[in-house]
Amino acid sequence: MAVRQIVRYPDPRLRQKAEAVGAIDDEIHALARDLADTMAAAPGIGITGPHVGVLKRLVAIKLEHNHPLLVYVDPVVVWSSPEVAKHAEGSVSMPGVTDEIERPARVRVRYRGLDGAEREEEAEGLLAVCLQHEIDQLDGIFWIDRLSRLKRERVIKKFEKLQRAR
């Protein structure tokens, strides 16, 4: 287990589509453990392979300290509700900035667990937001792409200012 280097915005790897995991081997199990460690150190509540420079469709989510770690291999949204909800979002790749994003309020996701078993899960609330956010990342859609041009420019300027102050 290790904390890996997080890819920072505007690294072009954050806009690349991740590949399917395929076989779930020791390397994928190690990556899942490293994602959990890296997410905890960031800190964050969700992270993907691309966030650490590995273009594989692997997601780790831990909504709260006392919640279990959730790992999704090759996740895809198979249904989303017509109802929408707004929630503040940010990224471990762009720390220190957030903005409100509107997304479907509920989703159903098909994925495999680390045991290789295919599963489907319905989610709402913060878990639904996280799943959509992280699956977007796997598809090469960075969270700020969901903002209006004006809001996106403001977030980028704020992030650049924070980076200069470091």
As annotated, the active-site residues are: 134
Distance CA(54)–CA(123), nearest Å, equals 26
Sheet holding 70-80, edge to edge: 46-48, 58-61, 70-80, 106-112, 118-124
Q: Which residues have C-beta within 8 Å of that of residue 46, sequence separation ≥ 6?
A: 39, 59, 60, 61, 62, 130, 133, 134
Distance CA(138)–CA(165), nearest Å, equals 30
Distance CA(142)–CA(51), nearest Å, equals 10
Phi then psi dihedrals of residue 96, to 5 deg: 95, -10
Distance CA(21)–CA(5), nearest Å, equals 20
Burial of 110 (0-12, 13-18, 19+ CB in 10 A): middle
